[in-house]
Amino acid sequence: MKRIVLILAVLPYLAMAAWAQETLGVEEAVRLALANNASLVQSSIALDTAKRTLDVSWNGLLPSLSVGAGASRPNVPSPGSTGSGESYYGTASAGISLSTAVMGSMQVARSQYDSAGLAFQVSRRDVELSVRKAYYSILLTRESMLVIERSIETAQNNYNQAEVRRKAGLAPELDSLTALVALEKIKPTLASAQVTYENQLADFRQLMGMAQDQALSFSDSLDTATALISDTTAAPSEETVYSAKDKSPAVTMLAAALALARTRKAAADRAVYSPGLSLSMSYRPTWSNDTSKDSGSVSAVLSFSTDKLLPWSQERQAAAVAADSVATAESKLAEARIGAGLSAKSLARRIAQARGSLRALRLNVTLAERTYALTDEAYRFGTKDVLAVQNAQDNLQSARMQVLSQMNTLISAVLDLEYALGVPFGTLGRQS
């Protein structure tokens, strides 16, 4: 009965602990980051600002309106006047100036909004790539810690075995001391990995927009991710890799920058060579000595400032700067297209190399495990010394760490290639 009461008392705390700890797969991590990442919030604000600017870019077409009223009285009445000479009047006027500059500003606002929208989408891709890489990097460190812990356990067993043999007079004291040194050398490696792991978790929480005291656990594994992009997965075709020169986020951003520069150049050119049209209307009713009269005017003026044609004019200088911006953007885009294609090809080669290396490294782990088992057995029978056992253990740990590192390299290369190709993450892993 006491045990049942204790369980019932502890259950709420267990439930709270389970609720407080966030268990994340990589897809859940991506969704949370896209909803909470600080840089995405800032990019969204920039997009809203560009949208607001676009929505009011037509305000240059609004007419100017003014109304007024007044009264006047002469100091000396006019001869023969029957009244005091007071008069009252009202005024109303409207005017509008039409120029290509207004249309140009509207087009620039539209291009800026498109660029901001693209920048927001690229920011989402950047965040998703960072989250996925950080997730698998954390898994790599965690798996590395497990490998180190297994090595510590093995080293502890070796030391215990050496001590038993020493006490039984079957091994010299040097064997026991060597095994102890090997054990103590591994422990700082684990402490260093733990520090790295905690730092990675802190950076990951910041990337996710989480509180730093949020407990985390991870449901995916390197093995699961690597299985999706194993050597049975079809390699991306040459045509697919080549498409990175047009689909890479860096290329698309520079293409948008070029479109914006061209829009600004067109607006600057129109500001130099296009005339302006001004339309105005005024109305003025006047009341004086029980009489009234109306006056008003309507005018339309088409004008062109020849000063703008001078090479040193502000408008011509602005057009020249805009032309330079277009030329610079074209050069950057051409360079980025070449770089994106080369980078994608390099990533494809890295993926192929990593797949081959991973197969060989896994075989190496199998060999190292077998070698260590045989060496340990030989030591227990007295045909191998403790240094041979230590070397076999070091080789086994190194082989396991190499596999983990190569798995992470393969995953990162696939993620980078998917990013460069502008395809959804996981596309290459789903190919078969």
Could you read off the pLDDT of 363-386 as tens digits, one per residue? 999 999 999 889 888 878 878 777
- The 10s digit of each residue's pLDDT in 377-419 is 887 887 877 778 878 888 888 888 888 888 888 888 889 988 8
| C-alpha–C-alpha distance, residues 277 and 73, integer Å | 38
pLDDT of residue 135: 92
CB 190 within 8 A of CB 432: no
Residue 197's pLDDT band (cuts 50, 70, 90)? very high
| C-alpha–C-alpha distance, residues 180 and 88, integer Å | 110
Q: How far is CA 365 from CA 130, 300, 372, in A?
A: 30, 88, 10
- The 10s digit of each residue's pLDDT in 8-35 is 444 443 333 333 457 888 889 899 988 8
DSSP H or E segment with residue 67: strand 64-72
Q: Which residues contact 57 (CB under 8 A, 6 or more apart)?
A: 105, 106, 109, 110
Lowest mean pLDDT among 120-129, 164-173, 235-244: 235-244
- The 10s digit of each residue's pLDDT in 133-157 is 999 999 888 888 888 888 888 888 8
Position 212 in a domain: yes
pLDDT of residue 234: 53
| C-alpha–C-alpha distance, residues 269 and 323, integer Å | 9
Query: What residue type is 121 in one-letter code?
Result: Q
DSSP H or E segment with residue 129: helix 100-167
Q: What is the CATH number of the domain that holds 341?
A: 1.20.1600.10
Position 412 in a domain: yes
pLDDT of residue 129: 92
Residue, of 311 and 236, whose pLDDT is higher = 311
Asked if the model's pLDDT at residue 232 lies above 90, the reply is no
| C-alpha–C-alpha distance, residues 41 and 147, integer Å | 39
pLDDT of residue 83: 56
Position 151 in a domain: yes
Q: Which two tokens stand for residue 195?
A: 């520090």
Q: Which domain holds residue 389?
A: 23-71+85-430
The single residue listed with the structure tokens 């005291």 is 213
pLDDT of residue 4: 41
Q: Which of 112, 130, 264 is nearest to 204 (CA)?
A: 130
Position 76 in a domain: no
CB 91 within 8 A of CB 72: no
pLDDT of residue 233: 52
pLDDT of residue 42: 87
DSSP H or E segment with residue 277: strand 276-288
Asked if the model's pLDDT at residue 110 lies above 50, the reply is yes
pLDDT of residue 130: 92
Q: Which two tokens stand for residue 302?
A: 């088409």
Position 124 in a domain: yes
Lowest mean pLDDT among 81-85, 157-161, 171-175: 81-85
**Could you tell me what percent of the chain has a pLDDT over 90?**
11
pLDDT of residue 89: 78
Vertex 380, ends 374 and 384: CA angle to 5°? 65
CB 384 within 8 A of CB 378: yes
Torsion-angle region of residue 233: left (phi > 0), alpha (psi -120 to 50) or beta?
A: beta
Bridge partners (DSSP) of residue 68 are 91
pLDDT of residue 76: 61
- The 10s digit of each residue's pLDDT in 31-72 is 998 888 888 888 888 889 888 888 777 777 677 788 888 777
Residue 198's pLDDT band (cuts 50, 70, 90)? very high
Position 8 in a domain: no
The single residue listed with the structure tokens 């088992």 is 373
| C-alpha–C-alpha distance, residues 133 and 30, integer Å | 11
Across the range 230-236, mean pLDDT stands at: 56
Q: Which residues contact 3 (CB under 8 A, 6 or more apart)?
A: none
pTM of the complete model = 0.75
pLDDT of residue 134: 92
Across the range 412-427, mean pLDDT stands at: 86
Position 10 in a domain: no
Q: Which residues of 53-79 are buried (b: 16+ CB within 10 A; e: fewer)?
A: bbeebeebeeeeeeeeeeeeeeeeeee
Position 241 in a domain: yes
DSSP 361: H
Q: How far is CA 313 from CA 157, 266, 271, 277, 316, in A?
A: 86, 17, 12, 21, 5
| C-alpha–C-alpha distance, residues 147 and 284, integer Å | 93
Residue, of 25 and 87, whose pLDDT is higher = 25
Across the range 75-97, mean pLDDT stands at: 68
- Average pLDDT, rounded, for the chain: 80
Asked if the model's pLDDT at residue 218 lies above 50, the reply is yes
Q: How many domains does the chain have?
A: 1
Asked if the model's pLDDT at residue 330 lies above 50, the reply is yes
pLDDT of residue 16: 39
Asked if the model's pLDDT at residue 79 lies above 70, the reply is no
Q: Which of 315, 334, 347, 329 is nearest to 414 (CA)?
A: 347
Residue, of 157 and 77, whose pLDDT is higher = 157
